[in-house]
Amino acid sequence: MSQKQNGDKSVWANPKVRTALLFLSPVIIFLISLCVGRYIIPIPTVFKILSSPFFAIEADWPSIMETVIFNVRLPRLVMVSFVGASLAISGASFQGILKNPLVSSDILGVAYGAGFGAALAILLFPDPTMIQFFAFGFGMLAVGLAYMINSFYKRSSTLILVLSGIIVGAFFSSLISLAKYTADPETKLPEIVFWLLGSFASIRVEDVIQYVPLMVIGIIVLLLLRWRINVLSLDDMQAKSLGLNIKKYQAVIVFFATLITASAVCVSGIISWVGLIVPHIARMIVGPNNSKVLPASVAIGMTYLLVIDDIARTLVANEIPIGVLTGVIGAPFFGYLLLRQRVGWS
Amino acid sequence: MTDKKVYLVIAIIAIAAISVAAYLLLTGETEPETPNTIAVTVTSSPTGAGYVKVDGTAITTPKTFQWEEGSTHTLEATSTATWVSWSDGGSQTHEYTVPASDATITAAFEGQIKVTFDQSGLDTTADEAIVSFTVNGETQTKSYADLPVSTWVDAGTQVSYTIEANVSTTCPGAYFMLTNSESSTTITVDDDTTVTAEYKRTIIDANGGIIDVPDPSTIERIADSWPAHNTIVVMCGYRDALVATATTNTVNPMFQKILPAIETMLTPFNSDGTVNVEELMAENPDIVFVSASGEEAAAAMENSGMTVVRLQFYNFEDMVHTVRLTGWILGEEAFTKALNYVDYFTEVQDNIISTTADLTSSEKIKVLHLVGNSLDPIRIDAGTGLINTWINLCGGDNAAAEIDGNMQTVSLEQILAWNPDLILIGSATANDVRETILNDELWSELDAVKNGKVMANPMGVFDWARYSVEEALNIQWVSHTLYPDLFPDTDIRAETAYFYETYYEYTLSEAEITDILRQVD
DSSP B121-188: S--TTB-SEEEEEEETTEEEEEEGGG-SEEEEEETTEEEEEEE-SEEEBSSTTEEEEE-SS-SEEEEE
Residue range A125-142: mean pLDDT, rounded: 85
pLDDT score of B257 more than 70: yes
B428 touches A: beta carbon within 8 Å: yes
| A-chain residue closest to B274, CA distance | A181
What is the pLDDT, as a whole number, of residue B29? 54
For residue B217, give Cα distances in angstroms to B103, B123, B201, B326, B329. 45, 12, 12, 15, 10
Cβ partners under 8 Å of residue A82, min gap 6: A211, A212, A215, A216, A219, A264, A302
Shortest distance between the Cα of A260 and any Cα of chain B, in A, equals: 22
Contact A201 B409 (CB under 8 A): yes
Contact A191 B402 (CB under 8 A): no
Selected residue with higher pLDDT from B308 and A341: B308
pLDDT score of A13 more than 80: no
Distance CA B513, CA B127 (A): 41
**pLDDT 10s digits, A284-326:** 888 889 899 999 999 999 999 999 999 988 888 888 888 888 8
Of the segments A266-280, B55-69, B109-123, B484-498, which one has the largest average pLDDT value?
B484-498
Q: How many CA atoms lie within 13 A of A28 on its CB side?
A: 8
Write out the CATH class of domain B112-204. Answer: mainly beta
pLDDT score of B30 more than 60: no
B400 touches A: beta carbon within 8 Å: yes
CA B443 to chain centre: 48
Q: Are strands B454-456 and B422-425 parallel, antiparallel or unpaired?
A: parallel
pLDDT score of B501 more than 80: yes
Chosen for mutation from A202, A205, A210 (greatest number of chain B CBs closer than 10 Å) is A202
Domain presence at residue A59: no
Residue range B92-117: mean pLDDT, rounded: 83
Residue range B386-407: mean pLDDT, rounded: 91
Residue range A49-77: mean pLDDT, rounded: 88
Residue range A42-46: mean pLDDT, rounded: 91
Shortest distance between the Cα of B423 and any Cα of chain A, in A, equals: 17
Contact A319 B410 (CB under 8 A): yes
Of A270, A251, A281, A276, the closest CA to residue A344 belongs to: A281
What is the pLDDT, as a whole number, of residue B499? 97
Contact B247 A184 (CB under 8 A): yes
| A-chain residue closest to B228, CA distance | A186
Shortest distance between the Cα of B168 and any Cα of chain A, in A, equals: 38
Distance CA A110, CA A117 (A): 10
Is residue A168 within 8 A of residue A145, CB to CB? The reply is: yes
Contact A190 B411 (CB under 8 A): no
Residue range B63-85: mean pLDDT, rounded: 81
Nearest CB partner across the interface for B445, out of A64, A199, A204: A64
A60-64, A243-247, B12-16: segment of lowest average pLDDT: A243-247
Domain presence at residue A30: no
Q: Read off the pLDDT band of B17 (50, 70, 90).
A: confident
Chain A residues within an 8 Å CB radius of B408: 318
Selected residue with higher pLDDT from A260 and A159: A260
Residue range A271-281: mean pLDDT, rounded: 88
Residue type, B343: D
Distance CA B262, CA A232 (A): 62
Residue numbers of B between 154 and 213 with CB closer than 8 Å to A: none
For chain A, percent of residues with pLDDT exceeding 90: 32
Beta bridge partner(s), residue B54:
B57, B75
Is residue A282 within 8 A of residue A132, CB to CB? The reply is: no
**pLDDT 10s digits, B333-354:** 999 999 999 999 999 999 999 9
At B367 the three-state DSSP class reads: strand
Chain B residues within an 8 Å CB radius of A38: 411, 413-414, 417
pLDDT score of A2 more than 50: no
Shortest distance between the Cα of B259 and any Cα of chain A, in A, equals: 20
CATH assignment of B356-517, given 3.40.50.1980, 3.30.1370.160, 3.30.200.190, 3.30.540.10?
A: 3.40.50.1980
Domain presence at residue A320: yes
For chain B, percent of residues with pLDDT exceeding 70: 97
Contact A185 B270 (CB under 8 A): yes
Residue range B89-115: mean pLDDT, rounded: 82
Nearest CB partner across the interface for B403, out of A128, A194, A317: A317
At B68 the three-state DSSP class reads: strand
Chosen for mutation from B411, B419, B439, B450 (greatest number of chain A CBs closer than 10 Å) is B411
pLDDT score of A211 more than 50: yes
Nearest CB partner across the interface for A186, out of B248, B410, B441: B248
Residue numbers of A between 172 and 201 with CB closer than 8 Å to B: 180-191, 194, 199, 201
pLDDT score of A3 more than 50: no
Residue range A261-266: mean pLDDT, rounded: 88
Shortest distance between the Cα of A35 and any Cα of chain B, in A, equals: 13
Chain B residues within an 8 Å CB radius of A316: 403
Domain presence at residue A119: yes
Query: Fold match between B112-204 and B356-517?
Result: no
Of the segments A143-157, A254-268, B251-265, B363-377, which one has the largest average pLDDT value?
B251-265
Nearest CB partner across the interface for B416, out of A67, A188, A313: A67
Contact A40 B417 (CB under 8 A): yes
Cβ partners under 8 Å of residue A259, min gap 6: A140, A214, A217, A218
Of A302, A283, A292, A279, the closest CA to residue A223 belongs to: A292
List chain B domain ranges.
1-33, 39-109, 112-204, 217-343, 356-517
Phi then psi for residue A338, to 5 deg, are -60, -40
Distance CA B509, CA A129 (A): 37
Contact A64 B382 (CB under 8 A): no
C-alpha angle with apex B335: B329 to B339, nearest 5 degrees?
135
**CB neighbour class for B23 (10 Å; exposed up to 12, middle 13-18, buried from 19):** exposed
Q: Read off the pLDDT band of A57 (50, 70, 90).
A: confident
Shortest distance between the Cα of B427 and any Cα of chain A, in A, equals: 9
Domain presence at residue A63: no
Shortest distance between the Cα of A255 and any Cα of chain B, in A, equals: 29
Q: Read off the pLDDT band of B104 (50, 70, 90).
A: confident
**pLDDT 10s digits, B401-436:** 988 888 888 888 999 999 999 999 998 888 889 999
Contact B445 A313 (CB under 8 A): no
For residue A304, give Cα distances in angstroms to A209, A240, A333, B25, B346. 23, 36, 11, 121, 54
Contact B413 A190 (CB under 8 A): no
B439 touches A: beta carbon within 8 Å: no
C-alpha angle with apex B356: B354 to B362, nearest 5 degrees?
150
Chosen for mutation from A34, A186, A207 (greatest number of chain B CBs closer than 10 Å) is A186
Shortest distance between the Cα of B296 and any Cα of chain A, in A, equals: 15
Total domains in the fold of chain A? 1
Domain B217-343, what architecture? 3-Layer(aba) Sandwich (3.40)
Is residue A148 within 8 A of residue A156, CB to CB? The reply is: no
Domain presence at residue A199: yes
Contact A319 B251 (CB under 8 A): no
**pLDDT 10s digits, B209-255:** 999 999 999 999 999 999 999 999 999 999 999 999 998 899 999 99
Shortest distance between the Cα of A209 and any Cα of chain B, in A, equals: 17
Is residue B284 within 8 A of residue B268, CB to CB? The reply is: no
Chain B residues within an 8 Å CB radius of A188: 271
A311 touches B: beta carbon within 8 Å: no
Chain B residues within an 8 Å CB radius of A178: none
Chain A residues within an 8 Å CB radius of B427: 187
Distance CA B356, CA B345 (A): 17
Domain presence at residue A258: yes
CA B330 to chain centre: 8
Of B418, B400, B396, B402, the closest CA to residue B474 belongs to: B396
Chain B residues within an 8 Å CB radius of A189: 271
A78 touches B: beta carbon within 8 Å: no
Residue range B480-498: mean pLDDT, rounded: 94
Selected residue with higher pLDDT from A54 and B285: B285
User: In this structure, is the dihedral angle defined by the CA atoms of residues B459, B462, B464 and B465, taken in order, positive or negative?
Assistant: positive
**pLDDT 10s digits, B123-134:** 999 988 899 999
Q: Are strands B37-45 and B103-109 parallel, antiparallel or unpaired?
A: parallel
B16 touches A: beta carbon within 8 Å: no
B445 touches A: beta carbon within 8 Å: yes
Is residue A178 within 8 A of residue A115, CB to CB? The reply is: no
B447 touches A: beta carbon within 8 Å: no
What is the pLDDT, as a whole number, of residue B314? 87
For chain B, percent of residues with pLDDT exceeding 90: 55
Q: What is the mean pLDDT of chain B?
A: 89
- The parent domain of residue A250 ranges over 78-340
Contact B411 A72 (CB under 8 A): yes
pLDDT score of B3 more than 90: no
Contact A184 B407 (CB under 8 A): no
Selected residue with higher pLDDT from B438 and B156: B438
Q: Read off the pLDDT band of B376 (50, 70, 90).
A: confident
Residue range B434-449: mean pLDDT, rounded: 91
A11-20, A234-243, B294-303: segment of lowest average pLDDT: A234-243
Contact A187 B428 (CB under 8 A): yes
A72 touches B: beta carbon within 8 Å: yes
Contact B377 A202 (CB under 8 A): yes
Chain A residues within an 8 Å CB radius of B414: 38-39, 317-318
What is the pLDDT, as a whole number, of residue B1? 56
Q: Does the model's ipTM exceed the 0.90 cut?
A: no
Q: Where residue A106 sits, what CATH number does that domain have?
A: 1.10.3470.10
Distance CA B292, CA B205 (A): 8
Domain presence at residue A109: yes
